[in-house]
Structure 1
C-alpha cells in the first residue's frame, strides 16, 4: 500500500518525536518531506486520519502551526507492509524491509511467527475442487533450471521434480533401475549400450518423447557444459545411433562402468529437442521436461510447480508446490531464520524437535582443501603442506562452526575408516602451535602469503581457516570464485582450494569428478598415477574392488598432504507427523510426487 510508505516516510522524518506526542508542523513542511503538492498532502493527511494512523488538528491563519500526533508505531507499520509484500510473493523485499529496523526485535519475531503460518501444507477449496499445496522457503538463489547449466543443490532438487533420466538409482543407491528406458542391453565389450524407451511419455508441452530427444539431450550437454559435472562421462561418448523412435544405441570410446550411473543423474535429464532449439538460453527460466511437475511461473523468486497429470508413472498427490528462493548470503534472510515446514532438509534441530516424527541421516557433505602443486611456491614442499595441515586444528574449527551438524572427517569413506584395521591416523589436531612454527621455519617457510580459492558459499569456512593458520604465522588471503567458474582457469592462480562434495548415492561419480579435477593441479608424476588409477576403476565391474581403489587414491593423496580433510556435515531430514509418502531409505531430497498430507 503506497500510502503506508508515505506514513513511514513522515515518521522517519521526525525520529526525535515520541509516539502519541503532539508537535507542531505545517502542511507545507510535510509536503516537502513527501515531495508532493499542498493539495495532495491535505488529501494524504485526511486518508491517514481515517486509517487511524495519525491525528491532525489543522489551524487556520497565517503563522499558525497545526498539531500532528503519530498514533501507529513504525514497527507496526513496517510489519503490515512486510506482510503485504509476502502476500504479493515478494519475500525478499519483505525481509529487506524489516532488516532496516534498528531496534525491532519484537516486530521481527512477530513477523517470523506470522511467516511460519504462511509456509507448509495448505488446502484451497473452490466449489467442489480441493487443491493441496506445499509452500516452503529455500535459502538459495535459483539461477537456472536447465539440467545442463545447474550448479547448486536447490537447482538440482527442482530439476529432479521437472525432468526424468533414462534410468534412476534405487532408493539405497546400490543399483540402477529402469525409468524413461524400460530396458537396455550392453555388448560383451561393455562399450555399446542399447536403450529401449517407454512409449507414450509426454513432455509438459504435450509432445511425445522419442529417441531423437535422448540423442539431442546428451549432445547438447556436451556442447553447453564441456567441463561441467561428470563431463568425463559424456565426453567418452564416441557416437549415438537412433535406431527408431524408441531405440537408441550409444557407443563409448572406452569401457566405463560408471556410465549407467551417470545416466541416472539429473545432469543427464532428457529435454525436448524442438523446444530447446527454439528458445535457446531462455530454457533455463522456462524449462520443459517429462517430470511429475511442470513449471507454472517464477516471479519474484517464487517458483511455482504444478502437478503434471499425464506423468508416465502416475499423477502426484500434491497439486502445487511453491518454492520461495532466497539469496543464501542475504543479511535479511539470515536474520529472518526462515521458518521450518513439514519437510525440512539440511535442518538444524532445535528444542522444538519433539514435534517431528522422523529425524534421520540422509547422506552427508565433506569439506576439504586440495593443494595446487603446479604453482611455483612453498606448497610444492611436502613438509610445509604437512605443517599447514597441522595448523588447521579441527577441534577448534568445529567450535567456530558450532550450530551445524558436523564432525571431524578424514575420509570420503567414513564407514570403511571406522572398521578398517589399516586406516591411516587422523589428521593432526593437537600439535602445539610452537611446534608447528618450528617445523615451518625448518621447512623453509618465511611468511609467504598463500591464496586460498573457494566459492562464495564457503566464505565463512575460508575465514576460519585463515584465522587458524594465522595463529601459527601462515598468511592466507581468500579468493572467491563463482561456482560455475570454479573448475576453470581462475583457480589455478591459487595455492589452496577449498571445496566440498556430497557423499550420497552418486558417491563414485562425484569422486571420479573430483579426482579428474585434482589432476589439473597435481604434480606431473601424480597426474599420471591418478589417471592410471581412474582408468582401472572405470574398467572394474566389482564394486568392492572399486571402493578399495578409491581408498588407495585417498590414502596416497593424504600421505603427501595434497588432500586435507576438514569436516563432514550430516544431512538430516525431519518429517512432520502429518506427512505421508516419504521413503525413509532414500538418500536424496524427497520426491514431491510421493508426498501427501493428512
Structure 2
C-alpha cells in the first residue's frame, strides 16, 4: 500500500525522534521529504491520521512550524506491508521488502511466526462447495518444471505431481510396476522393448495421450539434454516406432538391463507433442503432463497446482496445492511456532515436538564425497599424495560443524555395511601436510589445489578448506552452476566435491555418477570403470548388480580416487490430523494421496 511507503519515508527522515515525541516542522519540509506538492502532502497527512499512525497539529501560515507526532514504529508498518503482499500472493516481494530494510533482523522472527500460520490445510466454502487447500512451504527456488531440464530436489518433486512415465518404481526400489503402459515385453536379445499404453489417459490440456507422444518425449530428451542426468540411458536408443496409437517399440543400440529402470525416472516423463513442439529448442514450455495435478498459476514464488479431475488413477482428495517457494535462508527448525505448517520436509524435531508430531525417517539419503581429477598435471597424479589427502580427512570436524541427528559419517554409498566408518572412528590428520609431501615426493613447490563444486555446496567447500588448512593443504574453491557442472570447466580443478541422492533409483544414480567420474579418471581407473559398468549393463540380477557396484566402490577407495565425507538422512514430519500420507524414498509427500480429518 503506497500510503505505508510514504509513512516509512517520513519516519526514516527523523530517525532520532521517538514515538509520541512531538517535532516542530513545516508542511513544506514534509512535502520535500516525499517530493510532492503542498496540496498532496495535506491529503497524505489526513490519511495517516485516519490510520492512527500520527497526529498532525497544523498552524496557519505557510512559514509557521506545525507539530507532528509519530505514533507507530516503522517496524510495525513494514510488517503490515509485508503481510499484505503475502495476502496478494506476492511472497518474493514481501521477503525482498524485509531483506532490504535496515530493520530486517528485528522483523525476521516476527514475520516468520506470522508466515507459519499461513501454511497448512484449510477448507474454503463457496456456494455450498467445499474446496480443500494445502499451502506447502518449499525452501528452494524452482527454476524449471520441464522434465528434461530439472536439477534440484524441489523441482523433481513438483514434476512428479505433474507428469507420469511409462512405468514406475516402488518406493523401495525393488520392483518396476505398470503406469502409463499397462504391459511390456522384450525380445531375446533384450534390445527391442515393446510397451502397450493404457487407453483414455488424458493430458491436462484435454487431449488423449498417444504413442506418438511417447516417441516425441524420448526423442526430445535426446535432443535437448544430450549430457543430462541418465543421458547414457537414452543415448542408447537407436529408433522408436509406433505401430499404432497404443503401441511403442524402442530399439536399443545395445543391451542394457538398466533401461527399464531409467523409464521409471521423471526424466522419462511423457509430454504432449502438440504443446512442446512449439518450444522444440528450449525448455520454457508451460508444464503439461498427465499427472494427478496440473499447474494453473505461477507468480512471485507461489506455484498453484489444482487436482486433475480425470486423472487415470483417480482424482486426488485435495482440490488445490499452493507451493510457496521460500529462499533457503528462510528455512528453520520445527518448533511450537511452526505447528501450522502441518507437513514439513527436512526438519529436526525436538524431543517435545516429537511427542506431538508423526515422523518419518526417509529411506533415501544424500551422500557427499570428493573425487580426484587424475588427468590434471599436479600433486594428485601421485598416488601417495592422494593417500595424504585421504588421511587428512577429519570427519569428526565436519560432523561437529554439521551437527544434527540426520547427519552421520559415511565411507560407502551403501548404508549399514561393514565398510561404514563409525562416528567416533576417523583417520587422524597427518602431522605433515600435502604441501611438504609434494615437495619431497613429487617435486612440487607447495602449489595450491583447486576444488570445484556447485554454489549450493559452497558451505561444505569452505569447511573442507578450513579442515585441510590444519594439515597444510591449501584449497581454492571454484563454483560452477549445476547446469554446467558436467562441462569442461571442472576439468581444470584438482578435486571435485559433489553429492549423490540415493533413492529408489540408487543403481541408476551410481551408474550416472561413475560415468561422470570417468571423465577425470586416469587410464587405469577408466578401464576399471568401463569394465564394471559394462558388466552392470548386462547383468539381469539386481543382487549381482549391487555386488558389482560395491566391488567397484571398494577398488576406487583403495586407489584413493573416491573420498567419502558424510551422509545425510532427512526427516518428514506431519500433524496427526493428516491421513493418507504416502512418501517416496526421499520423504516427499505425494499430494494425491493425502486427506485431512
- TM-score between the two structures when normalised by the length of structure 2: 0.95
Aligned to 1:556: 555
Distance 1:583 1:432 in 2: 44
Kept after mapping to 2: 8 A contact 1:96/1:332: no
1:368 aligns with 2:369: yes
> Gapped runs of 5+ residues in structure 1?
none
Distance 2:360 2:186 in 1: 40
Aligned to 2:509: 510
Matches within 5 A, 1:321-340: 321-328=321-328, 331=329, 339=338
1:579 aligns with 2:578: yes
Distance 1:334 1:503 in 2: 24
Cα distance change on mapping 1:459 and 1:424 into 2, 3 Å: closer
Please say which of residues 22-31 and 461-470 is displaced more in the overlay: 22-31
Deviations 1:509-567 (Å, cap 9, x if unpaired)? 00000000011000012112211110101100111111111011111111111111000
Distance 1:147 1:62 in 2: 66
Kept after mapping to 2: 8 A contact 1:181/1:197: yes
Deviation at 1:137, TM superposition (A): 1.6
Aligned to 2:359: 358
Matches within 5 A, 1:132-531: 132-280=132-280, 284=284, 286-328=286-328, 331=329, 339=338, 341-350=341-350, 351-403=352-404, 405-415=406-416, 417-418=417-418, 429-436=426-433, 442-444=440-442, 446-531=445-530
Deviation at 1:589, TM superposition (A): 1.7
- Where 1:414 maps in the other structure, the secondary structure is coil
Please say which of residues 207-216 and 279-288 is displaced more in the overlay: 279-288
The alignment's C-alpha RMSD in Å is 2.2
Cα distance change on mapping 1:38 and 1:540 into 2, 3 Å: same
- Where 2:569 maps in the other structure, the secondary structure is strand
Kept after mapping to 1: 8 A contact 2:570/2:586: no
Distance 1:548 1:170 in 2: 21
Deviations 1:140-193 (Å, cap 9, x if unpaired)? 111111100111111111000000000000132101000000000111111111
Aligned to 2:49: 49
Cα distance change on mapping 1:264 and 1:584 into 2, 3 Å: closer
Please say which of residues 241-250 and 319-328 is displaced more in the overlay: 319-328
Cα distance change on mapping 1:491 and 1:432 into 2, 3 Å: closer
Distance 2:583 2:324 in 1: 25
Cα distance change on mapping 1:581 and 1:359 into 2, 3 Å: same
Cα distance change on mapping 1:427 and 1:166 into 2, 3 Å: farther
Kept after mapping to 2: 8 A contact 1:137/1:339: no
Kept after mapping to 2: 8 A contact 1:95/1:332: no
Cα distance change on mapping 1:345 and 1:281 into 2, 3 Å: farther
Kept after mapping to 2: 8 A contact 1:410/1:566: yes
Distance 1:6 1:64 in 2: 23
Deviation at 1:587, TM superposition (A): 4.9
Please say which of residues 91-100 and 466-475 is displaced more in the overlay: 91-100
- Where 1:472 maps in the other structure, the secondary structure is coil
Deviations 1:389-447 (Å, cap 9, x if unpaired)? 222200001111124720001000123x23x7xx8999983424424466565434532
Distance 1:37 1:355 in 2: 58
Deviation at 1:246, TM superposition (A): 0.3
Deviations 1:355-378 (Å, cap 9, x if unpaired)? 212332331100001111111111
Matches within 5 A, 1:25-174: 25-61=25-61, 63-100=63-100, 102=102, 107-174=107-174
Distance 1:303 1:378 in 2: 48
Kept after mapping to 2: 8 A contact 1:393/1:430: yes
Cα distance change on mapping 1:84 and 1:37 into 2, 3 Å: same
Please say which of residues 351-360 and 179-188 is displaced more in the overlay: 351-360
- TM-score between the two structures when normalised by the length of structure 1: 0.95
Deviation at 1:282, TM superposition (A): 7.1
Deviation at 1:327, TM superposition (A): 3.5
Aligned length: 592
Cα distance change on mapping 1:166 and 1:335 into 2, 3 Å: closer
Deviation at 1:75, TM superposition (A): 1.3
Deviations 1:18-50 (Å, cap 9, x if unpaired)? 111111111111111111111111110111011
Deviation at 1:480, TM superposition (A): 0.7
Distance 2:285 2:297 in 1: 9
Deviation at 1:247, TM superposition (A): 0.5
Kept after mapping to 1: 8 A contact 2:374/2:522: yes
Kept after mapping to 2: 8 A contact 1:165/1:263: yes
- Where 2:242 maps in the other structure, the secondary structure is strand
Cα distance change on mapping 1:582 and 1:64 into 2, 3 Å: same
Please say which of residues 473-482 and 346-355 is displaced more in the overlay: 346-355
Kept after mapping to 2: 8 A contact 1:295/1:303: yes
Kept after mapping to 2: 8 A contact 1:469/1:476: yes
Cα distance change on mapping 1:165 and 1:347 into 2, 3 Å: same
Distance 1:258 1:184 in 2: 15
Deviation at 1:113, TM superposition (A): 2.0
Distance 2:126 2:149 in 1: 39
